[in-house]
Structure 1
Amino acid sequence: MSDMRAREPGEVFGPRMTLFADTLSVGLATALVCLPVVTIPAAAGRYFAVLRRRLRAGDLAAGAVALAGALLFLADLALAGAGLPGAPVFAVVAAGVGAAALVVGLRACARPESLTDWPAAVREAARDAVRDLGGSALVLLAVATAALCAWMLVPLAFLVPGPLALALTAVHVRQGTEFE
């Protein structure tokens, strides 16, 4: 391994990652170039119709509540890390509450009731999360996978909804419920 060349000036990746980086960049460029040719014409009409149905005041309020909850959760964990008394116990409890809220929120987003009635969707998602602990664990694993993908390679961040949608669909199929 002594014959491996060192990084040259301006080289982002080391010698072992050059081929992988080139392959990944060509794949991403191909996917981006194909969007206007293949994907957008086939899916644009349905996408914009669904987007129009989802852009309601209730959806924006649910998003604001989720964002406020995430910011409060991060602030609580930052305070717990500041060395306050009881911080380790609080951090564990806060992580458990945050994970439960994340599972219920994602499951509520996937329910058909979320199109018309958010409180009913959240109630049913909370019941499902308690009744189907295996499905809840699957959703948490999908969140961890999505976060790991986004952390490891930032260009993959646009793929983050994929594992989440796949996990939520799999959870509904496991329960025997169908989407509309």
Structure 2
Amino acid sequence: MGTREPGEVFGPRMTLFADMLSVGLATAVACLPLVTAPAALSTACAVLRGAGEGRPATAGQYFALLRRRLRAGDLVAGVVALAGVLLFAADLALAGAGLPGAPLFAVTAAAIGAGATVVGLRACARPEALTDWTAAVRGAARDAVRDVGGDGLVLLAVATAASCAWMLLPLAFLAPGPLALALTAVDVRRTVGADRQPG
């Protein structure tokens, strides 16, 4: 457990909490164009991962990293994610319209949507997302198959963030911070588990 520096008001854990909220607010602002959401969230995960390695986790550090890494691939990832969300919403709307087989269709669409959400969010947490989305998605898909417990944690983090935003709208601007921290923790947990495996 870390100790306080002279003159430090809060301990290191409270400092991480404050940094997480500031990064979350910066992420919410960066997500406003919608197509930048994957890049914004993966940058937040990278900054919060750096906090565990002794690097600063501030909004300034976040925007500096986001400016350096924004590229065409990030915008393509954003367009694909946005198209997926719109398609999922349209499918659920069709299922709710009372078409034949709608209940089974709704369950199937929900399962596919949950799987795609898990893979997409796990991809954002992987370090490869900073440079190569294809590698990040491939790795996240493998993780989703091998680590079902981690998938559950990701879905729980999403549900918690959505519930907080639904209960109190201003919390929606802070929700990306805890979500990014949870995604990063799940990815670090995967990495530590892989390192501990024999052979």
TM-score (norm 1): 0.72
Does 1:137 pair with 2:170? no
Partner of 2:177: 162
Task: State which of 83, 93, 105 in structure 1 corresponds to 2:108.
Answer: 93
- Offset at 1:44? 4.9
Equivalences for 1:63-102 in 2 at 5 Å? 63-102=78-117
1:22-41 per-residue CA deviation (whole Å, 9 max, x = no partner) reads: xxxxxxxxx9xxx8xxx9xx
Distance 1:78 1:162 in 2: 30
Distance 2:137 2:68 in 1: 19
Task: State which of 93, 103, 122 in structure 1 corresponds to 2:137.
Answer: 122
Distance 1:134 1:54 in 2: 31
1:77-132 per-residue CA deviation (whole Å, 9 max, x = no partner) reads: 00000000000000001000000000100111111111111111100000001100
Aligned residues: 140
Contact kept in structure 2, 1:150 and 1:160, CA below 8 Å = yes
1:128-159 per-residue CA deviation (whole Å, 9 max, x = no partner) reads: 01100000100000000011011110011111
Contact kept in structure 2, 1:145 and 1:163, CA below 8 Å = no
Q: Which has the larger radius of gyration?
A: 1
- Offset at 1:166? 2.1
Contact kept in structure 2, 1:77 and 1:91, CA below 8 Å = yes
Partner of 1:103: 118
- Offset at 1:48? 2.6
Contact kept in structure 1, 2:95 and 2:106, CA below 8 Å = yes
Partner of 1:151: 166
Partner SS state of residue 58, structure 2:
helix
What is the letter of the counterpart of residue 145 of structure 1? T
Of structures 1 and 2, the one with the larger relative CO (CA 8 A, separation 6+) is 2
What is the letter of the counterpart of residue 177 of structure 2? G
What is the letter of the counterpart of residue 169 of structure 1? T
Contact kept in structure 2, 1:104 and 1:125, CA below 8 Å = yes
TM-score (norm 2): 0.66
Which ranges of structure 2 fall in alignment gaps of 5 or more residues? 1-17, 27-56, 194-199
Partner of 1:22: none
